Structure 1
């Protein structure tokens, strides 16, 4: 297991200073905005009587995981064994690996982590979607006396991982139940990632309505087979209100809501969901000015572009700017609607296109209170699970 990145003294020295002291390009979290986002999600889950298990693959940080647990989360989701190990090393005791693991070496790590968490009074869960995956997991768990919670992942429309709804899911649940010495059938993993960024509310609602029909057929079959799923978990930042409205899901797994990103902000606003605000920014600086353009020092090595380019966060009194591809180390800024370009040395705040892989590009998050313009550095947080597989 790799050690979390050490925090350099030059970053520690920022604590207590204003945001103007932060060198660029660097990833900055507006803690006030993140806390408001978390509170809104916590209140939504409580109102709808849903367990909240946020997806930590977004922030990859034990510190932010602890903040979410303190705010009422039941536990955290992760996507890789390495993420689970890194967060467990940071004191997180309730983790769910929402992905398929079939490597023998990785499954031994899963068994060791399950044993470790059990000794601390915690619990590890994992998703499966094949007979072979169950058998390999059961064999690895023989190395320990721990019992791991196992969720049958059902493909409810994503077309990625997941067993087919219906009879195939029932047969997989039965196999898990027969391995009860080390495996415990915990319920269904039902996540439709493809629905999260459908732009209109109507499209997202239709996708989850269709997914719920497939899921309900499977649930009914399991109940008839005397294997009722105690937990049905899934949902993301784009659709969780629709999963909640269905009455089928008992737990939701949104992740990006905490920081938000430009891609989610491009979705049509859904009045059934709380409104979340950007809390993750790349602080950049204008390093060159030319005819009709300014160039900042935040290129693709600072922010992921798989979901599009970043938005420029205009502070009060600033002209709206458009961001264009400038390569690895540069971003090209032009005026979006009149006004004046920023001058050489000015600060420009960017909202990344996709928060998850952007965080994974950085060793640390600089956390500020009081807003990005006039706030002060509260902490520097390690991205514990950066690159963790």
Structure 2
């Protein structure tokens, strides 16, 4: 067992937070939530934020309180952790085929239904559907779900990851679901993760227009076969403007809008897109200082690097420092191109002992590296610690 992080008591200055630590600017996060809620309302669509981002039941519940219909997860363990902490409307937007995982899922669905909740699942294969039906049938009748388990058919609209082929293959799966009394066809899951970080917005929107043709094709075939399509769900932070304007989607699943990482900041955004702000930071301290570099204590064990290295936050101004790869425990800080001095020291690089704020390259896997997120009210410069948020589903990979 490791010692818990040293967390300042509520009311202590943000600068007193031990390093490295994951910190939420609560004011920025709440502005992001308000903008997402207003956007969804203005476009007449439901929103179901992806909890694989924050893995935190408290945040999932706040999003529901702001108008979200529930949350998405990607893993059975995430669903279990969030349900145990109070979430009641969960969509596992991924494929399950292992009997052990399906048994856990069905048991969770029974518990949620008994509490007035709902658990839905995605499927993209006949095998997966049959395995799910078998998991339900294996239970004694008294322990089975009281209501049919909602199942979405996921279709591949361009990412070439999971998803049945649009059209006839998806139709066959929907018909197969309909043949099982214990299951109900919930709609189509149509998410294009590969489009989220296409930098130019016109190219991103064009990729989605091509994807929507596959959604229309599939919906048309289903309706012609007498199968209603009650919901079309999908969308991420990078494409939600397109999905909302498409007239096809009834539910949006963005997650990263809540925190906004350095990778999303590189995207071009259209006029009218919600102005989401950076709200998640890694607090770090300079622990070594040399003429040409400073070294901080936030290495790869404190932030994910799959979408690039973090940026050094300069409170909205152009970066004064560049973050370089220092390995597991260290980051190398140098002056950014065109910068003559770091503003916090009055010249040169940051001083030994000085603390800084990093914007993670990819927020989702960064959160999964931490036990808690420390919420700060009043900004990072002058703010104070308000609360500690537990990462309930940290490490819930199965």
TM-score w.r.t. structure 2 length?
0.94
Q: Does 1:277 align with 2:277?
A: yes
Q: Residues 256 and 316 from structure 1, CA distance in 2 versus in 1: closer, same or farther, beyond 3 angstroms?
A: closer
Give the superposition deviation at 1:124: 0.3
CA distance in 1, matches of 2:319, 2:193: 35
Q: Indicate if the aligned counterparts of 1:286 and 1:343 stay in contact, CA closer than 8 A.
A: yes
Of residues 365, 370, 373, the one that matches 2:378 is 370
After superposition, the C-alpha distances for 1:122-154 in whole angstroms (9 at most, x for unaligned) are 000000000010000011122213321100000
Q: Residues 319 and 99 from structure 1, CA distance in 2 versus in 1: closer, same or farther, beyond 3 angstroms?
A: closer
CA distance in 2, matches of 1:116, 1:169: 30
Q: Which runs of 5 or more residues in structure 1 are unaligned?
A: none
Q: Indicate if the aligned counterparts of 2:313 and 2:319 stay in contact, CA closer than 8 A.
A: no
CA distance in 1, matches of 2:104, 2:64: 24
Partner of 2:211: 211
Partner of 2:16: 21
Give the superposition deviation at 1:372: 1.2
CA distance in 2, matches of 1:126, 1:308: 32
Partner of 2:344: none
Of residues 79, 87, 103, the one that matches 2:82 is 87
Partner of 2:393: 385
Q: Residues 317 and 228 from structure 1, CA distance in 2 versus in 1: closer, same or farther, beyond 3 angstroms?
A: closer
After superposition, the C-alpha distances for 1:65-87 in whole angstroms (9 at most, x for unaligned) are 01100000001000000000000
Q: Does 1:193 align with 2:193?
A: yes
Q: Does 1:168 align with 2:169?
A: yes
Q: Does 1:356 align with 2:351?
A: no
CA distance in 1, matches of 2:24, 2:41: 26
Q: Residues 316 and 105 from structure 1, CA distance in 2 versus in 1: closer, same or farther, beyond 3 angstroms?
A: closer
Give the superposition deviation at 1:318: 9.7
Partner of 2:227: 227
Partner of 1:312: 312
Partner of 1:64: 59
Q: Residues 232 and 6 from structure 1, CA distance in 2 versus in 1: closer, same or farther, beyond 3 angstroms?
A: farther
- Helix, strand or coil at the partner of 2:109: helix
- Helix, strand or coil at the partner of 1:36: helix
After superposition, the C-alpha distances for 1:318-355 in whole angstroms (9 at most, x for unaligned) are 97100000111110111111112110111110000000
TM-score w.r.t. structure 1 length?
0.96
Q: Indicate if the aligned counterparts of 1:34 and 1:258 stay in contact, CA closer than 8 A.
A: yes
- Helix, strand or coil at the partner of 2:176: helix
Displaced runs of 4 or more, over 4 A: 5-9, 316-319
Q: Residues 299 and 10 from structure 1, CA distance in 2 versus in 1: closer, same or farther, beyond 3 angstroms?
A: closer
Return 256-265 or 286-295, whichever deviates more.
286-295
CA distance in 2, matches of 1:384, 1:262: 24
CA distance in 1, matches of 2:319, 2:107: 54
Partner of 2:268: 268
Q: Indicate if the aligned counterparts of 1:299 and 1:328 stay in contact, CA closer than 8 A.
A: yes
Give the superposition deviation at 1:269: 2.2
RMSD of aligned residue pairs (Cα, Å): 1.6
After superposition, the C-alpha distances for 1:349-383 in whole angstroms (9 at most, x for unaligned) are 00000000000000010111101111111111110
Q: Indicate if the aligned counterparts of 1:14 and 1:21 stay in contact, CA closer than 8 A.
A: no
- Helix, strand or coil at the partner of 2:40: helix
After superposition, the C-alpha distances for 1:214-272 in whole angstroms (9 at most, x for unaligned) are 11010000010111210000000000010111100110000000001000001112223
After superposition, the C-alpha distances for 1:84-112 in whole angstroms (9 at most, x for unaligned) are 00000010000000000000000000100
- Helix, strand or coil at the partner of 1:262: coil
CA distance in 1, matches of 2:368, 2:145: 34
- State the number of aligned residues: 383
Q: Indicate if the aligned counterparts of 1:7 and 1:364 stay in contact, CA closer than 8 A.
A: no
Residues 43-62 of structure 1 mapped to structure 2, 5 A cutoff: 43-62=38-57
Give the superposition deviation at 1:15: 1.9
Return 146-155 or 247-256, whichever deviates more.
146-155
